[in-house]
Structure 1
Amino acid sequence: MRIRRSPLPSVARRKLRDAGHEVREIGIPARLDADVVGPLRTWLTSAVAMSASMMVPAERWGSYTALTRFLMQRAQELSAADVMLAQARLAGYASRFLAAFEHVDVALTPVTSRPPVLRGHFLSEGLEAVLDRMLDWSCPTPWANLTGQPAIALPAGFTAEGLPLSAQLVGRPRADALLLALAGQLESAQDWHRVHPAVWDE
């Protein structure tokens, strides 16, 4: 089995190699850069606003978080053409990832671009920057949502400070059984269920 990956904690690569899988690195077929972040921001804004507006009556919208209300307001500034163009660009982005899976079985990537962040990190530059800060932190995962591929996150060790790290496995479309089998194999080769990280009180 060939595993496609991005840089991530070495423990996951080592465990997969120890289990007899071929693990090799190839280039990312499409990066989450400005040409994708813009459309993704537009799509997320419209999706959140549509869902929020349908979930509760308008007289209760004030109970939503400041971020949700902010996105609902921003969605009013988007046209149907804005949303459709964003979806078209994201579809092209997803297609490049799906094409890359013609020669690999499973992708192995980090779940986040860096360890867990402090509480308030995403709001630290104001509501305007929240989506960008979220996407920057979770950049290895959105493409799996856009392509509809099955994906699963597993523990992948700890930083020197004891913060948890995780790895993402992404399978081919409709290859859920293979993905779950590999995830189970990787999970059984580790003992994360025996690890109890320290808890800090502020």
Structure 2
Amino acid sequence: MSELHDLTAGELLDRLRAAAVSPVEAVAHYVERIARLDGRLGAFVEVTADAALARAARLEAAAPFGTLWGLPHAEKDLVARAGVPTRYGSAARIDHVPAASDELALLLDAAGAVSVGKTNTPEFGLTGYTESAVAPPARDPWDTRNGAGGSSGGAAAAVAAGLLPAAIGSDGGGSVRIPAATVGIVGLKPSRGRLPVGSGLDSPGGLVVNGPLARTVGDAALLLDALVAGAPYRHATRAAGAGPFVDAVRTDGPALRVAVTTVSPWDDDEDIRLDAAAAAAVSTAAAVLDGLGHAVAELAWRPHGYAALFRVLWRSSAARLPLTDAELARLQPITAWLVREGRALGAPELLGALSAASAFERETIAVFAPYDAVLTPALALPARPVGWFDAADPERDFAQQVRYAPYSSFVNVAGLPAIVVPVTRDAAGHPVAVQLVGRPGGEAALLRLAGQLESARGPLPHPPCW
């Protein structure tokens, strides 16, 4: 019989609903694994074992409800849960214990899931790697000398190592997709306006959306369905199309049109060098999709001016953090730099960047419009060693993050859906992922294509020693 952590999230939910596994058994299994293994991984910053087991017992004593009944999960440490320390990866919030829970935590509660704690994140989620001043680094389970990416690095590491069946992260510039690609799992960023909670419509530039991290494409679709259905929609704009998205993963249908590019919007501004294994993964994915009958073609795309607009948007996002001067002095160098740079922005510069972002969104959608999906590398470089990013030099740190993950943030600016899925393994056996970017509201096509790539690849083993 398989261990519970060998099951997909969907398989575990099936067993929970069939009473073959109880919520207490499921939660106890994952709590034990976290206690035994996370010291080498740094995936968690807070484990609420007693509260999780008590909630699981309450669920067990009542009638099942919700789409995620009994499923263990954990919030990224940017999501407030009442009574649980929520530090945002920052010394400036080291003693913060919220009195109320954020909407995402309440949504997951209403779906019947069981929170077992908080996962590791960089300071205020502002970097693509997870090395804060208040917790050990989140590490890649395939090689713990390397980091897990960010900002949902703890969540991705936990899922990859079997310390959680699946997780929800947030993605403002790649924060779901970067760590998912780093540790060899599936990461899905929904369209702007797709979700009722974490829609992107209430964040600066419309960048930040919630999204699933999972070991399989099917599990990512299952979590997307739970997020879409989990709360009333309160915005005037909503992404087109509808679920259930789990039906899209294995659905046969007409051939789709897929474009391929290794161009990034940062190419004019940074020295982007694509690793050979990343390039090979794109070629493999293109060949697989072509062999399945999809129409695969090279994309002629060379965007200009992107770097300047994104730098303003990212600094303005940091400027919104409600920090006093005393708290600002406690921040890590890159966070303090982003906040100070953002606060120094004038209205003309910010409005100009928002206008440029809107133009970039329209232009990108127009270029991508003939295709159901655009295939790109997920990352330009393999997982980076812990300490590789130059935390003492914020400008260099930012540039290093761009060179690591130049294919991520433009998707947020354009408001498009994207998924990363491992398709090959490098010489050391580490999974290498590609990214598929869809049309507005085009998650179903992405899930279908990603599911086909996953099937062609075959099952991945667990990372060694986990």
TM-score in same-fold range (> 0.5): yes
Q: Distance in 2 between matches of 1:17 and 1:186?
A: 11
| Shift in alpha-carbon separation, 1:27–1:156, aligned structure 2, 3 A | same
CA deviations 1:178-197 (Å, max 9, x no partner) are: 22222222222222x43344
Deviation at 1:63, TM superposition (A): 4.8
The question of 1:36 aligning with 2:306 is answered yes
Q: Residue 339 of structure 2 aligns with which residue?
A: 72
Q: Distance in 1 between matches of 2:336 and 2:360?
A: 29
Q: Residue 289 of structure 2 aligns with which residue?
A: 16
CA deviations 1:92-143 (Å, max 9, x no partner) are: 2222211112211111111112222222233267112222221222111222
Name the amino acid aligned to 2:461: V
Q: Distance in 2 between matches of 1:124 and 1:156?
A: 32
Q: Residue 136 of structure 1 aligns with which residue?
A: 403
Q: Which structure is larger by alpha-carbon Rg, 1 or 2?
A: 2
Q: Distance in 2 between matches of 1:47 and 1:119?
A: 26
CA deviations 1:161-190 (Å, max 9, x no partner) are: 444321111111112222222222222222
- Number of residues of Structure 1 aligned to a counterpart in Structure 2: 192
Q: Residue 47 of structure 1 aligns with which residue?
A: 317
Deviation at 1:61, TM superposition (A): 4.5
Backbone CA RMSD of aligned residues? 2.3
Greater relative contact order (Cα 8 A, min sep 6): structure 1 or 2? 1
SS in 2 for 1:97: helix
Kindly, what percent of the aligned residue pairs are identical? 28
What does 1:149-160 correspond to in 2, within 5 Å?
149-160=416-427
Q: Distance in 2 between matches of 1:170 and 1:102?
A: 11
Deviation at 1:59, TM superposition (A): 5.4
Deviation at 1:151, TM superposition (A): 0.7
Q: Distance in 1 between matches of 2:291 and 2:392?
A: 43
Q: Distance in 2 between matches of 1:174 and 1:61?
A: 39
Name the amino acid aligned to 1:3: V
Gaps of 5+ in 2: 1-255, 263-278
CA deviations 1:50-77 (Å, max 9, x no partner) are: 1x22xx6765445543321221122222
- Structure 1 window deviating more from structure 2 (144-153 vs 111-120): it is 111-120
What does 1:34-183 correspond to in 2, within 5 Å?
35-50=305-320, 52-53=321-322, 60-123=327-390, 126-183=393-450
Q: Distance in 1 between matches of 2:287 and 2:414?
A: 28
Gaps of 5+ in 1: none
TM-score, structure 2 as length reference: 0.38
Q: Residue 300 of structure 2 aligns with which residue?
A: 27
Q: Distance in 1 between matches of 2:462 and 2:261?
A: 27
SS in 2 for 1:139: coil
Contact 2:315 2:342 in 1 (8 A): yes
Name the amino acid aligned to 1:45: R
Deviation at 1:29, TM superposition (A): 4.1
Query: Which one has a larger percent helix, Structure 1 or Structure 2?
Result: 1
| Shift in alpha-carbon separation, 1:92–1:122, aligned structure 2, 3 A | farther
Q: Residue 2 of structure 1 aligns with which residue?
A: 257
SS in 2 for 1:140: coil
Q: Distance in 2 between matches of 1:111 and 1:25?
A: 17
Contact 1:97 1:143 in 2 (8 A): no
TM-score, structure 1 as length reference: 0.82
SS in 2 for 1:194: coil
Q: Distance in 2 between matches of 1:80 and 1:131?
A: 23
SS in 2 for 1:152: strand
CA deviations 1:13-45 (Å, max 9, x no partner) are: 2221232212111222415xxx32122111101
